[in-house]
Amino acid sequence: MAIYYSSTRNANDKVTASQAILKGLADDGGLFVPSEIPALDVSLKDLADMTYQQTAYEVLKLFLTDFTEEELKHCIDSAYDSKFDTEEIAPLVEADGAYYLELFHGATIAFKDMALSILPHLLITAARKNEVKNDIVILTATSGDTGKAALAGFADVKGTKIVVFYPKNGVSPIQEKQMVTQKGDNTYVVGIKGNFDQAQTGVKQMFNDSAFAELMDANGYQFSSANSINIGRLVPQIAYYVYAYAKLLKEGVIADGEKINVAVPTGNFGNILAAFYAKNMGLPIAKLICASNENKVLFDFFETGTYDKNREFMLTSSPSMDILISSNLERLIYRIAGNDAEKNAALMKSLTETGVYAITPQMRGQLADFVGGYATEEETAATIKDLYEKTGYIIDTHTAVAASVYTKYRKEHADDAKTVIASTASPFKFTRSVMKAIDPQYDTMGDFELVDELSKIGNVKIPKAIEEIRNAPVVHDHVCEVAQMPDAVKEFLGIR
């Protein structure tokens, strides 16, 4: 059955999946949502015998209904190949009674690779389908991980250019080095003098600027987005929850149909929304545990029903979650508003104008499957240390936020359901914070000395992504004010 996509802010604007992927964001600033969430049409038992690629196909075919089987399989096979350092693509590791779904085995060692390795292929296919003549300019704001994953995905992809904005002082040294050493003539990386929310808002403004769009078109360009607001990122993320469940079933950890919990370190709400979609497709998931760091705007939202971004922005050791405006939450709000675009639009208008909105008690009633929690910096560090000392397994700071929140939840609610924790980054990406958590004395070491030490004490191989940047030259050193972001794009494209 054909699935269409409409804006969360205007029900009348219906497009196909490929058009939604091309556009990224709807014209009215809303996010594209599917006309319905399709049910899985294979049994869990059958899924248990599938590879990651086969599982991905079973999910993608239901959402991206204007793509042919051949097109989808080509996209999937081009994405989930030897760029990943394990054939499993997303292995599941048991440690201290929880199941860590390692989503960091791709090119840039963070979970963004799961979606961003396939998005360029989906986008190119979508452009061909819709007879797009313009070059596609991917505009991306990053809190650290999206940027590199998008750069790696799009570098030297014909017919595309990519511009990445990141907060100059808001990403880890390894994250920054990964981005500024990015090769490819079609790539452009800019540090902004501001935080992630400002980068994201700046990018959204460019998307909504119709004069800019006309100027682009006149020069043979059009924007698209690689941010997690693009439905072409969200849908591939559903696949790994289905895969994880099937894996637990195959290994006899759970019975067919047994409900599991998932715990997700959350920033922009894309990853956990994918889990929510998976649940709505029929995957037996009980609780969706939404873990925040000290930027706990989502925790407060689940506690009170009021979303309030008016607060101090904290820089934490889990920078990819340092976010006060969780863009993808809008898709959930739309849904619990009864798929009512008008109601959602009013709430989002309030968010833009005042930084606050409150949902109705009736809407709140539909959030029962979500559990909000947060971890302080101390709790996050203690979680890394405890798990390491107990099991020898080393997790990154983001994953540790989820592990900490999960541990507290499990204790408080005596809920012993098997739980999958989304492990969103390799510890090698946040080496200093991770090693300092294990022993503060490590802080005196240099960045790459720490990498070697982590490999030694954790008994894990240094990922290729890290080896590659050790001696790579910096090729991007552009820094600009927030207000100059459009000028930076024009300069890169050579248009005025």
Ligand X SMILES: *Cc1c(COP(=O)(O)O)cnc(C)c1O
Cβ closer to ligand X: 110 or 434?
110
Please give the Cα distance from 466 to 148 (Å, whole number): 12
Alpha-carbon 349 to chain mean position: 24
Q: Point out which span in 1-9, 204-212, 268-276, 334-342 binds ligand X (CB under 6 A).
A: 268-276
Token pair recorded at residue 118: 């396939």
Number of residues that bind ligand X (CB under 6 A): 17
x/- track of binding to ligand X for residues 238-267 (CB under 6 A): ---------------------------xxx
Alpha-carbon 160 to chain mean position: 21
490: exposed, middle or buried (Cβ count in 10 Å: 0-12, 13-18, 19+): middle
Binding status of residue 145 toward ligand X by CB under 6 A: yes
Binding status of residue 427 toward ligand X by CB under 6 A: no
Q: Point out which span in 107-115, 357-365, 409-417, 440-448 binds ligand X (CB under 6 A).
A: 107-115
Cβ closer to ligand X: 125 or 318?
318
Binding status of residue 373 toward ligand X by CB under 6 A: no
x/- track of binding to ligand X for residues 382-411 (CB under 6 A): ----------------x-------------
Quickly count: other Cβ atoms within 10 Å of residue 56's Cβ: 28
Q: Residue 179: which of 165, 199, 200 has the closest Cα?
A: 165
Residue from 425, 435, 454, 466 touching ligand X (CB under 6 A): that is 425
Query: Least distance to ligand X from the beta carbon of 423, Å?
Result: 9
Binding status of residue 11 toward ligand X by CB under 6 A: no
317: exposed, middle or buried (Cβ count in 10 Å: 0-12, 13-18, 19+): buried
Query: Least distance to ligand X from the beta carbon of 396, Å?
Result: 7
Residue from 8, 16, 187, 228 touching ligand X (CB under 6 A): that is 228
Token pair recorded at residue 471: 């001696």
Q: Residue 269: which of 227, 304, 310 has the closest Cα?
A: 227
Residues 445, 460: contact at Cβ < 8 Å?
A: no
- What torsion do the CA atoms of 109, 121, 140, 205 make, to the nearest 10 degrees? -150
Residue from 424, 431, 433, 455 touching ligand X (CB under 6 A): that is 424
Residue type, 58: E
Binding status of residue 23 toward ligand X by CB under 6 A: no
Binding status of residue 319 toward ligand X by CB under 6 A: no
Binding status of residue 178 toward ligand X by CB under 6 A: no
Q: Residue 146: which of 166, 129, 161, 126 has the closest Cα?
A: 166
Binding status of residue 320 toward ligand X by CB under 6 A: yes
Binding status of residue 90 toward ligand X by CB under 6 A: no
Query: Least distance to ligand X from the beta carbon of 271, Å?
Result: 4
Binding status of residue 202 toward ligand X by CB under 6 A: no
Please give the Cα distance from 285 to 270 (Å, whole number): 17
Query: Least distance to ligand X from the beta carbon of 211, Å?
Result: 30
Alpha-carbon 460 to chain mean position: 25
Please name the residues in contact with 20: beta carbons below 8 A apart, sequence gap of 6 or more.
5, 32, 231, 232
Binding status of residue 331 toward ligand X by CB under 6 A: no
Query: Least distance to ligand X from the beta carbon of 190, Å?
Result: 19
Binding status of residue 112 toward ligand X by CB under 6 A: yes
Please give the Cα distance from 437 to 385 (Å, whole number): 6
Binding status of residue 117 toward ligand X by CB under 6 A: no
- H or E element in which residue 258 lies: none
Query: Least distance to ligand X from the beta carbon of 354, Å?
Result: 23
Residues 204, 25: contact at Cβ < 8 Å?
A: yes
Binding status of residue 110 toward ligand X by CB under 6 A: yes
Residue from 270, 372, 373, 427 touching ligand X (CB under 6 A): that is 270
Q: Residue 146: which of 236, 226, 29 has the closest Cα?
A: 226
Residue from 18, 181, 268, 383 touching ligand X (CB under 6 A): that is 268
Give start and end residues of each alpha helix (H) in 25-164.
44-48, 52-63, 69-79, 112-116, 119-129, 145-154
Cβ closer to ligand X: 29 or 267?
267
Please give the Cα distance from 445 to 455 (Å, whole number): 14
Binding status of residue 321 toward ligand X by CB under 6 A: yes
Cβ closer to ligand X: 108 or 125?
108
Binding status of residue 269 toward ligand X by CB under 6 A: yes
Query: Least distance to ligand X from the beta carbon of 207, Å?
Result: 18
Query: Least distance to ligand X from the beta carbon of 111, Å?
Result: 6
Query: Least distance to ligand X from the beta carbon of 314, Å?
Result: 15
Binding status of residue 174 toward ligand X by CB under 6 A: no
Query: Least distance to ligand X from the beta carbon of 293, Å?
Result: 9
DSSP string, 377-414: HHHHHHHHHHHHHHHS----HHHHHHHHHHHHHHHHHT
CA atoms in the 13 A half-sphere facing the CB of 393: 19
Binding status of residue 432 toward ligand X by CB under 6 A: no
Q: Point out which span in 83-91, 109-117, 173-181, 462-470 binds ligand X (CB under 6 A).
A: 109-117
Interacting residues toward ligand X by CB under 6 A: 110-112, 145, 228, 265-271, 320-321, 398, 424-425
